Amino acid sequence: MNKFKGVIVPMITPFTNNLDIDRDASERIVENLVTNDCSVFILGTTGEALSVRQSEKSLLAESVTRAVNGRRTVYAGISGNCFDESVESARRFRDVGVDALVAHLPAFYPLSDDHMLHYFESLADAVPLPLILYNMPATTNHSLSIEIIDKLSQHDNIIGLKDSERGDDRLDKALDKWKDREDFVFHLGWAAKSSYGVRNGLDGIVPSTANLVPSIYSDLFEAAANGNSEKADQLQELTNAISAYYQAGNLLSEAIPRLKGMMQTFGLCSNKVKLPMLQISDELQGKIEAEVLQKYSQYNTSK
């Protein structure tokens, strides 16, 4: 399989009680992902990337690449509002063994199409590793159009897209345009469309819930890729239900702490988060533990 295809997990960033990088937890999480045939994407939205200091990012990247030890692909986010810092991060990640970089647009200024094109072309020219575009309107307030992405896909160092923008028409248009491209991969961050997307030519899925249940997503991807629609759709319904437990009715900044609470239940990491996210209460953690153990313990593969 192409090293840039399959299940790519947007890994949470684990913290100690002092809010330092928890290296032991990062190794536990990585082992759970890699042994279930998943690649690792650090320092994305689920990884609280913009709340993590540059020095901590390097520590996390070093810890993760050492734990992966070449067994799966490692992606690292370099998104930020400072172009030079993104390039510096890319060089540090290259030095510790990261395989590919992921970046969304800066989120501070309004940007025209020309701004977007020039930004990504300049970034792709400057970084020492393959670059994957990340379209995330929910946090950047910018949408990369299919037309802009297709233009950027012609750049020699831009190898793919992670799209987290929803819309059936957009998804179908993107699949039709890139499903036969050997030099450009299409990854989807809209996890509820994983089965449909893979059955229709998607190269990779990027589900945050796979931090908790990577084996289910690996089975889903394999079933969909092999044309077993019935099994893939059954697994899709299951992952949707697990995801809804922490996502439904919550802001993204509320959902991530709850996901960490679920992961704490299974001994993968603590539920600690950095500002501006808020720590979940002990009462909510207790509720999560009771309900998650009752509903989903049979699906967890960390033990």
Percent of the chain beyond pLDDT 90? 96
Q: Given 3.90.260.10, 3.60.9.10, 3.20.20.70, 3.40.50.280, which CATH number is that of 6-228?
A: 3.20.20.70
Per-residue pLDDT, averaged over 43-67, amounts to 97
| C-alpha span between 103 and 82 (Å, rounded) | 12
Mean of the per-residue pLDDT values for the chain?
A: 96
pLDDT of res. 301: 56
pLDDT of res. 294: 85
User: pLDDT tens digits for 194-233?
Assistant: 999 999 999 999 999 999 999 999 999 999 999 999 999 9
Please, which pLDDT band fits residue 113 given cuts at 50, 70 and 90?
very high
pLDDT of res. 296: 79
Per-residue pLDDT, averaged over 45-54, amounts to 97
Q: Which of 181, 119, 176 is nearest to 154 (CA)?
A: 181
pLDDT of res. 184: 98
User: Within 10 A of 11 (CB to CB), how many other CB atoms are there?
Assistant: 27
Q: Residue 116: in which H helix or E strand, if any?
A: helix 113-126
Question: What ranges do the domains of the chain cover?
Answer: 6-228
248 burial (CB, 10 Å; 0-12 / 13-18 / 19+) is exposed
Per-residue pLDDT, averaged over 32-55, amounts to 97
Is pLDDT above 60 for 1? no
| C-alpha span between 29 and 302 (Å, rounded) | 8
Q: Can you give the pTM of this predicted structure?
A: 0.96
| C-alpha span between 79 and 57 (Å, rounded) | 12
Percent of the chain beyond pLDDT 70? 98
Please, which pLDDT band fits residue 264 given cuts at 50, 70 and 90?
very high
pLDDT of res. 295: 84
Cβ–Cβ < 8 Å for 212, 262: yes
